[in-house]
Structure 1
């Protein structure tokens, strides 16, 4: 999904990018944006341990739990980012992403709403003349994605924060849903650990 998102974003060398959400998809998009030549990649998230990973991967972390991420991006860029990618799906993240983008920029919605609704102010996207792209999962990127991981140009191992045996699947899902114990990505193994 991250690679297809990047394809839709059409990131160019020197672009400034904002990614809302530092989960696994957002962290993969961060790495891919850098490979595509992005100049600065701002990453917002309310969870400090996810922002720490974003910084390890070279992103500029913006803690959205105690900072206005839109204001932080505008202060850092002076005119907004060229591309904003919404990969979090909080109630307000699509609107925040639209507000971060410069005039004529690109907005990509990768997150999936539980309520099956997309909301942002018409005036925000219309006045800026934004190009809006919606991500529908993978779109034939598996071979490219596998090559990027095999060549170590995209790192996945650092995102795995927990491992569970198959018999512990209910506990794994409960931990993942609660965002407890600094969870980023949980792996469930078929064999006992």
Structure 2
């Protein structure tokens, strides 16, 4: 099969690889039709993780079931399915609680597994023609009859739509709340959409890229340009000096300020911009170590947090990757009902063969490259 393979920092190549296949009775084999490039993929692409060369990338995957293992009961050949990026077993303590992003059995020694991701188990990614899905009955989300018509919407259920929604859950967004979101990348934009779905009275999105801020405005949010570093002050002004009720961090450890990485910038701005006793949800990726960071603390996976202000303001912070299965069915139904169109943020649709081009443009944050979807041949 054709697949996108990581061969080193900023070097990915589409080439022939061994076909994915059923390995266990509970596996499902999916022919991938759409797979996305995620901002999280860029950490590996840039060589900022311990990703091994020769691995197939891709954790935002959708396709058609072509084979099922002998132990599969629910999923059928021909089903159109979307796959959560995190792989759960369905029976461990965390999975039973709905914390499928922190499965205790699929990646022994680590809480959590994912397709084609550094440190998240041996599973191949789906930027390929075929994908093996472990525990297929549990992990496959079966899509409605309009699966092909709305394929670009449904593929967002694999990661960014649930992750954006998760940010609002972690922050505690309720109807009527004012919400500030740092990051107008795909996840931040999905957090803006999710905050609106949950009934936020005011949604503000902070970034420095004008094209991304324009998309945030298209989704109904108030765009805030942080090019001069004044975003927290702008939020205070927009909220009558009180601060936002809730804040979402959708950038992560590679936050950039005036051309330099400042990994604590978004977190400390959120502490300033969110009101006393408000909530902050953090879904941007922060890592346990970052040897290639410029900052000495960041090398050890640490940041200088304004904890005194956080404590004095009585704010709460919740963190972690999205438990996709906790949200994907309901979000699927919103798409099916025409009440959510996450595909609005897609800027480019490329064949799998042009994946390397997509990575290069997306990594450079070239204007207009906000979300890239890859299509395999029919």
- TM-score band, normalised by shorter chain: over 0.9
Correspondence for 2:312: 127
Alpha-carbon offset, residue 119 of structure 1: 4.2
Alpha-carbon offset, residue 98 of structure 1: 1.3
Is 1:88 aligned to residue 88 of structure 2?
no
CA distance in 2, matches of 1:164, 1:62: 30
Is 1:112 aligned to residue 298 of structure 2?
no
Contact kept in structure 2, 1:32 and 1:154, CA below 8 Å = no
CA distance in 1, matches of 2:237, 2:165: 29
| 1:175 aligned residue (361, 369, 374) | 361
Is 1:44 aligned to residue 230 of structure 2?
no
CA distance in 1, matches of 2:182, 2:233: 14
Query: For 1:114-170, what per-residue CA distance to the aligned partner results, in whole angstroms no more than 9, with x for missing partners?
Result: 534454211111110111110322242221121122222222222110121111111
Structure number with greater Rg is: 2
Write out the 4+ residue segments of structure 1 that deviate beyond 6 Å after TM superposition. Answer: none
Point out where structure 1 has 5 or more consecutive residues left out of the alignment.
none
CA distance in 2, matches of 1:106, 1:119: 19
Aligned length: 192
Alpha-carbon offset, residue 3 of structure 1: 2.1
Give the structure-2-normalised TM-score.
Answer: 0.49
Contact kept in structure 2, 1:20 and 1:45, CA below 8 Å = yes
Give the structure-1-normalised TM-score.
Answer: 0.93
Correspondence for 1:79: 242
What is the Cα-based RMSD across aligned positions, in Å?
1.6
Q: 1:134-149 counterparts in 2 under 5 A?
A: 134-140=319-325, 141-149=327-335
Alpha-carbon distance change, 85 to 119 in structure 1, aligned in 2, over 3 angstroms: farther
CA distance in 2, matches of 1:74, 1:160: 31
Is 1:103 aligned to residue 276 of structure 2?
yes
Alpha-carbon offset, residue 8 of structure 1: 2.1
Point out where structure 2 has 5 or more consecutive residues left out of the alignment.
1-162, 256-262, 291-300
Q: Which deviates further from its counterpart, 140-149 or 67-76?
A: 140-149
Correspondence for 1:188: 374
CA distance in 2, matches of 1:163, 1:52: 20
Greater relative contact order, per chain length (Cα 8 Å cut-off, separation 6+): 1
Contact kept in structure 2, 1:9 and 1:107, CA below 8 Å = yes
Contact kept in structure 1, 2:177 and 2:245, CA below 8 Å = yes
- Of Structure 1 and Structure 2, the greater helix share is in 1
Query: For 1:18-58, what per-residue CA distance to the aligned partner results, in whole angstroms no more than 9, with x for missing partners?
Result: 00011111111111111211111110011101100111111
Correspondence for 1:165: 351
